[in-house]
Chain A
Amino acid sequence: MKRFDCLGKIAKAASDALVVTSAGAVTLEWNALRPSDGNFRVRTLGLCSSIALGMALGLPQRKVIALDGDGSLLMNLCSLPTMARMEPKNLVHIVFDNEVYEASGSKQTATATGTDLVGIARAAGIRQALWTHSVDEFAGVAMEALNGHELFFIGAKVTTERTEVPPYPMDEVENKYRFIRHVEKTEKIAILKTNLPSSYT
Chain B
Amino acid sequence: MKAEGAKAAHEAIVKAGINFIACLPDSAFQELYIPLSNDPRVTYVQVASENDGVGICMGAWLGGLKPALLVENTGFTLGSYALMRGPIAFGVPMLLLISHRGELGDERWFSVPFGWGTKPLLESMRISHRSIEKTEEVQDAVLGAAKSMNSLQAPVAILFSGGLLF
B111 is an interface residue with CB less than 8 A from chain A:
no
With an 8 Å Cβ cutoff, the count of chain B residues facing the other chain is: 35
B38 is an interface residue with CB less than 8 A from chain A:
no
Q: Is the CB of A173 within 8 A of B60?
A: no
Known contacts A82-B46, A85-B46, A86-B45, A58 near B59 by CB under 8 Å:
yes
Q: Which of A57, A78, A183 gathers most chain B CB within 10 Å? A: A57
Q: Is the CB of A20 within 8 A of B59?
A: yes
Q: What are the residues of chain A within 8 A of B51 when measuring CB–CB?
A: 46, 50, 76, 78
A103 is an interface residue with CB less than 8 A from chain B:
no
Q: Is the CB of B48 within 8 A of A54?
A: no
Q: Of A20, A47, A55, which is within 8 A of B82 by CB?
A: A47
Q: What are the residues of chain B within 8 A of A42 when measuring CB–CB?
A: 86
CA distance A47 to B57 in the complex (A): 11
B120 is an interface residue with CB less than 8 A from chain A:
no
Dominant secondary structure at the B interface? helix
Q: What are the residues of chain A within 8 A of B49 when measuring CB–CB?
A: 76, 78-79
Q: How would residues 39 to 64 of chain B score, 1 for a CB under 8 Å from any chain A CB and 0 otherwise?
A: 00001011111011111111111111
- The chain B residue with its CB closest to the CB of A49 is B55
**Restricting to B133-154, which residues have a CB under 8 Å from any CB of A?**
147, 150-151
- The chain A residue with its CB closest to the CB of B94 is A54
Q: Is the CB of B56 within 8 A of A54?
A: yes
Residues in chain A within 8 A of chain B (CB atoms): 20, 40, 42-44, 46-47, 49-59, 62, 76, 78-79, 81-82, 85-86, 172-173, 175-176, 179-180, 183, 187, 189, 191, 193-195
